[in-house]
Amino acid sequence: MERWCKVVVVDDSAFMRMVIARMLNEDAEIEVIGTASNGLEALEVVKTLRPSVVTLDVEMPVMDGLIALERLMQECPTPVVMVSALTKGGAEVTLRALQLGAVDFIAKPSGSISLDAHKIRDELVAKVKAAARAKLRVLLTPPRRIVPTVSAVPNEWAIVVLAASTGGPATVRYVLSQLPPDLPAAVLLVQHMPVGFTKFFADNLNQVSALPVKEVQDGEVIRPQQVYLAPSGFHLLVERGGRLRLDQSPPLHGVRPAADKTLDSAAHIFGERCVGCVMTGMGSDGAIGLLTVRERGGRTLVQAPETCTIPSMPESALKLGAAQESVPLERLPQRLTQIIRAVVGAVNLIGERSG
């Protein structure tokens, strides 16, 4: 079998370079063709060897990972998987890296020099291969958040479920930055992330979103004009009475939270007032749940696959016949807003006629 996926490993620890290279080379389709010990060296190695993917550490001497990433995207665009310590600082830097163009990231199990790095082998291999197939796009930079005026809470409102995986953080950040503060809907957000990262992701999104973003607390009541982020390690379910429940049943499609669980429960409670949207990501999560939304009278759409970093999730939904529309990322927030207002308008009209 051809080793089609060529990788450069960048880490200031010789031990970690050896461990990561060994894990990757154990896969029959991956070949580590070079290494570098800092960002400046990495730029030269990548320009010379032209790999399929770069794994990039964050904290390095001479030139750190963020500066190297920014330079790399400008001078020699290449898919990058960040390798980051699972700490508060590591999470914040990793989210910044995803905004700068990194495709995905791996959390080191035990900090910067990890003795149990073998625990991430399967995830590392899968993410490197996915990154090699990723489409690098011009980043859509959201504006800085403008604090909105207080909007009147609508009498009728919809529920929106947004689902994303690989490539999702930058995509979600853009979409939320464009939604209006008076949106007559509550937004449930399912983004596949390692445990420990979603709290920082919510804080990051609050920098650009006019709708307040919070990590879900078990049992809280859904309110309109609020974004609820599913915490890593829990499925997010909607219950009767509009309450949110965090569920630790086994992962679905290998992930927890799984968007299928959220979409299915939201569709059964909200019916025609439910809007589902599946965006960039690996795998097929969201397809079956989106079909349930459609079958129960809700509205469904996907991010157009050609505008995704990884198109597998939207493609799965389209193949299943679950999506009514496929919308390019640039137009997705506007179209979501139009659909939500139309759904709420239809509910109001039915209420007036029945009254």
Report pLDDT for 138: 58
Q: Shortest CA distance to 51 belongs to which of 153, 131, 113?
A: 131
DSSP secondary structure letter of residue 25: H
Residues 6+ positions from 224 with CB-CB distance below 8 Å:
153, 154, 157, 183, 184, 185, 186
Residue 165: active-site member: yes
**Tell me, what's the pLDDT at 10?**
96
Q: pLDDT, tens digit, for every residue of 147-162?
A: 554 566 667 899 999 9
What pLDDT shows up at residue 106? 87
Residue 285 bears catalytic tag: yes
Contact 313, 281 (CB under 8 A): yes
How many whole angstroms separate alpha carbon 146 and alpha carbon 2? 51
Which of 52, 112, 165, 177 is the catalytic position?
A: 165
In the set 264, 285, 312, 316, the catalytic residue is 285
pTM summary value? 0.87
Greatest C-alpha distance within the chain: 73
CB 11 within 8 A of CB 82: no
User: Which pLDDT does position 350 carry in this prediction?
Assistant: 53
Structure tokens at 327: 């919308």
Ranges of residues in the chain with a pLDDT under 50 are 149, 352-354
- In the chain, which segments carry CATH 3.40.50.180? 158-354
pLDDT for residue 58: 87
Half-sphere exposure of 349 (CA within 13 A, CB side): 6
Q: pLDDT value at position 196? A: 81
The Cα 176–Cα 171 span in angstroms is 9
Partners of 108 in the beta sheet?
Answer: 85
Write down the pLDDT at residue 84: 78
| Burial classification of residue 285, based on how many CB atoms lie within 10 Å of its CB (0-12 exposed, 13-18 middle, 19 or more buried) | buried
Task: Record the tokens describing residue 184, joined without a space.
Answer: 């007559």
pLDDT of residue 112: 54
Catalytic one of 192, 209, 232, 235: 192
Fold designation for 158-354:
Rossmann fold (3.40.50)
The DSSP letter of residue 252 is B
How many other C-beta atoms are found inside a 10 Å radius of the C-beta of residue 72? 24
Q: How confident is the model at residue 121, as a pLDDT?
A: 87
- CATH H-level superfamily of 5-132: Response regulator (3.40.50.2300)
Burial of 28 (0-12, 13-18, 19+ CB in 10 A): exposed
Q: Where in the chain is the domain with CATH 3.40.50.2300?
A: 5-132
Side-chain-side CA neighbours of 173 within 13 Å: the count stands at: 26
Q: Report the distance separating Cα 10 and Cα 348, nearest Å.
A: 57
- State residue 59's pLDDT score: 85
Where helices occur in the chain by DSSP H, the ranges are 14-25, 39-49, 65-75, 88-100, 121-132, 168-177, 198-205, 259-270, 287-295, 312-320, 332-354
